[in-house]
A and B are shown apart, each in its own frame.
Chain A
Amino acid sequence: MHAMTFIGPVILLGVVLGFVTMAILFERKVIGWMQGRHGPNRVGPWGVLQSVADVLKLLLKEDIIPHQADRPLFKWAPIIAFVPAFAVLAVIPYTPTVYFADIGVGLLYYIAISSITTIGVLAGGWASNNKYALLGAMRSAAQMISYEIPLVMAVIGVIMSVGSLNLMTIVEAQKNLWFILPQFIGFAVFFVASLAELNRTPFDLPEAESELVAGYHVEYTGFRFAFFMLAEYVYVFAMAGLTTVLYLGGWNPLFGMTFIPPIIWFVFKFSLIVFSLFWIRATLPRIRIDQLMQLGWKVLLPLALANIFLSAILKEIPWIGQFY
């Protein structure tokens, strides 16, 4: 038993919380710039402390539980939603030396654990005993389960190429070529499905403030609300990390530029994904729910299935087969 087994996760938790506060600030800044505004710039120099102030404000807010709500479940729901969000980070390798759990079924672990969050969302919406909340929770759950299928199917092309579910092995298999090139269809399906899993624009229907007020967390205030939001942003961290690992070669350098340390490469690719999420939010409008469900089942799922067999066939073609 190593001391790092206990200290490492605590350090990572600090890093993740720091990331979340900065990511929220940058999201607002980036969207502000894209819309010709300044974004938050009052609290601290350049608005750096804006999110910190927001968190402190949430901590000092009164905790209101509606009298019709199911109290025990109302209190548990944000925790059920948050725990898996942090637990999935255990399997993501950052560099050849910075990783926490090197398990054989790492990829499937991520997918399995992240599916628990849907239960937390449903429990929160149901326990609020509010029409908007339950409707938002049901929509959110329907969306999350519908896009989980294309998400997991899209990755199969990568697994066929590597022959392992271990995320370290998957990164090492991308020494020469990142999977974003040979598995481009898989990557496209994965990226779109991950946007929907993260409930981000253009798939932010669960929140849809113009029709559902705020979705499943209408009744939540203060820090309980903060934990739902935190879970969402921790998933942004996790999903950006997973996309980097699966398709962008993890810590592997581009053009053999090994003088840049692996962690910098990882952070660079990771930031690129996070930036694209903000960029997409500033660019695309929200889609309708019928379009959402049809996109998932009628477009992404058949594409993901076709990608599996396409990869298998391309394996057979001489020369091209070496990339699959």
Chain B
Amino acid sequence: MENIKKSENIVFEKPRLINDTPMHYCPGCTHGVAHNLIASVIDEMGLAETTIGIAPVGCAVFAYKYVDIDWIEAAHGRAPAVATAVKRLSPDKMVFTYQGDGDLAAIGTAETIHACNRGENIAIIYINNAIYGMTGGQMSPTTIVDMKTATCPYGRNVALNGYPLKITDILVPLEGTCLVTRESAHTVAAIKRTKKMIRKAFENSLAGKGTSIVEIVSTCTAGWKMTADQANKWMVENLFPAYPPGTLKDI
């Protein structure tokens, strides 16, 4: 047993900044992985003492419970406005928002677009699972056509509900953005790539290059009513065609 604990034998360990609070996220949910990646990047870049996170409303409202940095929990959708002031008032800090699709692409659309358009030197981590998880699985702006949710029980009907909002694509032509990328976290390769992009977003913020957005196409096992494995497969087959992973802008 003691042999196993030797440092040369350790192949994986919990990031230093992730504390021991039991996470409330469902098994198979992408939030846990995304939290781990952010915590690792902050630690690896030596930013634990200078990072301020802005938490959203939604399942990740409790992000502040799990990553041991300073946090401000924003009202629904307002994280980019909150982050704008935090960064402008303390330009030497690393400031990032962590938001879901309801928060960022519905109620917070104006704050998202204007923070990006001003080129605020912040990173936006955008978890897109096409559903409102925290409130029980209602339709979100990114719910895909025909996808069933609590508020579109017969599937998203374009005539009734309009089209899925590809907000990340809208952020590309804004002159204030420097990195707009869509990632996922369902395979080891995807997780490694996502981590690389989060790091790049953080580096851009510190270098004053403008706003970086890392969308992570994610799963919601409870909202989709699937197992973790089913959810990952469904995401690849159904969400990826609407939200194809890949870097949309990197300057």
On whether the two chains bind one another, the answer is no
Interface residues of A (CB under 8 A from B): none
Residues of B at under 8 Å CB distance from A? none
